[in-house]
Chain A
């Protein structure tokens, strides 16, 4: 089956620094990747849709300058949390689809970000 990995699985950073999270599709080419965040005991909130080679589409209320998304290849999307603050501490999950219009989304295992 299609496998999506995320790196790192856990990261702790100091307030004011930037953190990059990678999402890779390991055995398929992903035309579209999605980024979600999940606070403890809450649901997943879609942050942005990322298409290879074009700018990401952000959901309402998500700051594009705060959460930089780059989808430079068909197997890699990155999310950079810039000038992180404690309120950015969350579980970040990515997903990927094989082709546009596909119902299937394959989720990564998530990255736990803690900002101190």
Chain B
């Protein structure tokens, strides 16, 4: 990818379990954002974390950022079947351009 890698590439869990996805990137950033994408559709913005923040919460989402390791994680708690989608991290290096990670395909089994 232009910026980094996400792992796992694919994740399958039971409804109610937690899902954790990781994102690593290559260069210094201003902020990092997470998006979800349902198959063949556009992107939905989930959460933004700035480079001076370490953790952020939004509903069932928890995002962490470790700039020393150039990595971020997205935790979805109490997953639902409707959470099934692909999840991407995107980094902003300060020029407004977003560089996306390779993505994690999440399947939540009812």
Residues of chain A whose beta carbon lies under 8 Å from any beta carbon of chain B: 32, 34, 36, 41-46, 49, 59, 91, 93, 95, 97, 100-105, 107-110, 112
Contact = CB atoms under 8 A, between A and B. Distances in A.
Given A43-B1, A107-B43, A110-B41, A34 B98 contact: yes
B42 A43 contact: no
Contacts, number: 59
Contacts of B43: 44, 93, 95, 107
B102 interface: yes
Interface of B: 1-2, 30-31, 33, 35, 40-43, 45, 48, 88, 90, 92, 95-103, 105
A108 to B, nearest CB: 6
Most buried by B among A44, A101, A107: A44
A32 B41 contact: no
Contacts of B100: 36, 43-46
Most buried by A among B35, B95, B97: B97
A49 B41 contact: no
Contacts of B48: 103
A100 B2 contact: no
